[in-house]
Amino acid sequence: MKLLLPLLAISSLASAQLSGKVGPTTSHATKTARKVCNITSYGAKPGKTGDIGPAMTEAFNACKNGGTIVIPSGDWGLRTWVNMQNGKGFAIQWDGVIHRTGDAGGNMLLVQKSDDVEIFSSTGKGAFQGNGYEFHRKGSITGPRILRFVRTTNFAVHDVLLIDAPSFHFSMDTCKNGEVYNMVIKGAYQGGLDGIDVWSDNIHIHDVMVSNKDECVTVKSPAHNILVENIYCNWSGGSAFGSLGEGVDIANVIYRNVYTIQSNQMMMIKSRGGSGSVSNVLFENFIGHSNAYSLDIDQNWSPMKSHPGPGVGLRNITFKNWKGTCANGVQRPPIKIICSDDKPCVGIHIVDFAMWTDSGSSVQYQCKSAYGSGGCLKSGSGGAYATTSKTISSPPAGYNAVRMPGDLKTSTGTKEPIAIPQMPSSFFPGKSPLKALAAGGAGGRLVELFNDVDEGFIES
């Protein structure tokens, strides 16, 4: 009967992905056929030190009710930020490289209260160079964010690169029916420079690579029907839920095919006190190499302040098919599930978990006030219990896992410019992007190479 518990949990999540269609309701071709608003027609001048902000604003106003705003190939400066509000049926064809030249806070590109929106590069080379190192070398992370969507519906962002944000790179705030894919985010190796943060409904995020020292792809509250797959956390902080406080409302989330290397964790759920719930979640097919933590639930996470309440209720959460290594499995256990004594976790299931250690000859699992199956979890349900440890003294079968050819050898710095990379042609071993890369990405041979290998796995 114990073996049936995780299978039933996974089965119940089979339909708990998206709640409906995602993406724009009309194609960018349809928008382009209606009207084209090239920023050069509104006074934009090429060059890294100019300011296309006013021209972009004028182009948006001309095309906001149906049309395509074009940012041509080449270099463009941005000194004044662009607020795109109350638009319906517009696209931005972003083929050039935008270079931040202004110093104001806020959001450099803000889309809010809009519907049927698409931002894309037709070449896969459209990029934003945030030049965040100019802030970071002074010890500041209070500069502007690159891209933020607020209360926007039926949208897509794809085939663009967001580089070196002074602050966060991309946030989706109370949006609905969105798709984000074929994207590279490369930020400084410093906290407070999140890759993708989402607190929205019915969002599909796939085929994304993030390099930074903070969040890779992270769900915050409230969020429902989120599907995240084919994610490459390439020397990053790692993915997470949180930080979670009062009135948390997260349900029906799937992370699938997540590759994480040299990161703080593969997946973390973090809170301290608080209230509300996280339910019906599946973390499936995770590969990790040399990460500090692997599976990390911490409901007494010391970096955040304590919130009023008994704790966030965690229930019906499954971790399935994890493999790879952590850096030191005794110092930082590959399974760490520390739940609230006042609100114990229930229905936590760990299936096919094969994580070993780069350093040492054993790993430890730690559980506290947590119930379910697998690892060091107690079966059934019940009250609080003190931290228990379980030592694993031999490598689990099947822990060796593929490595991606694009793995970074060192982290990005904080004091020097970050070069704009190429778009990779694969974001998870053996998986082609779910949607074709614009202009073929960095080349098709990488995916072909993986597909030549049995099941796409090369043992390290």
Is the distance from CB of 374 to CB of 349 less than 8 angstroms? Answer: yes
> Which one, of 6, 4, 22, lies nearest residue 281 by Cα?
6
Q: Which helix (H) or strand (E) holds 425?
A: none
Residue 54 CB neighbours (<10 A)? 15
Q: Is 436 left (phi over 0), alpha (psi -120 to 50) or beta?
A: beta
Hey, is 423 helix, strand or coil? coil
Cis? peptide before 140, omega within 30° of 0: no
Q: Which helix (H) or strand (E) holds 368?
A: strand 363-368
Distance of CA 136 to the CA centre of its chain: 22
Q: Residue 88: beta bridge partners?
A: 115
Hey, is 440 helix, strand or coil? helix
Q: Is 432 left (phi over 0), alpha (psi -120 to 50) or beta?
A: beta
- β-strand 196-211 against 36-38: which pairing, if any? unpaired
DSSP 305: P
DSSP 421: -
Cα–Cα distances in angstroms (integers) from residue 427 to residues 121, 143, 311, in the given order: 18, 29, 35
Q: How far is the C-alpha of 365 from the C-alpha of 271, rounded, in Å?
A: 20
Q: Any catalytic annotation for residue 28?
A: no
Q: How far is the C-alpha of 215 from the C-alpha of 210, rounded, in Å?
A: 9
Through-space distance between the first and last CA atoms of the chain, rounded to whole angstroms: 36
Cα–Cα distances in angstroms (integers) from residue 245 to residues 221, 242, 255, 307, in the given order: 9, 8, 22, 6
Q: How far is the C-alpha of 281 from the C-alpha of 320, rounded, in Å?
A: 11
Q: What are phi and psi of 250, to 5 degrees?
A: -130, 130
Non-local CB neighbours of 11 within 8 Å, separated by 6+ positions: none
Q: How far is the C-alpha of 79 from the C-alpha of 302, rounded, in Å?
A: 38
Catalytic residue among 159, 164, 201, 214: 214
Catalytic residue among 289, 298, 307, 349: 289
> Which one, of 351, 287, 360, lies nearest residue 323 by Cα?
287
Cα–Cα distances in angstroms (integers) from residue 120 to residues 68, 127, 339, 342, 438, in the given order: 11, 10, 41, 47, 9
Q: Any catalytic annotation for residue 289?
A: yes
Please list the active-site residues: 214, 289
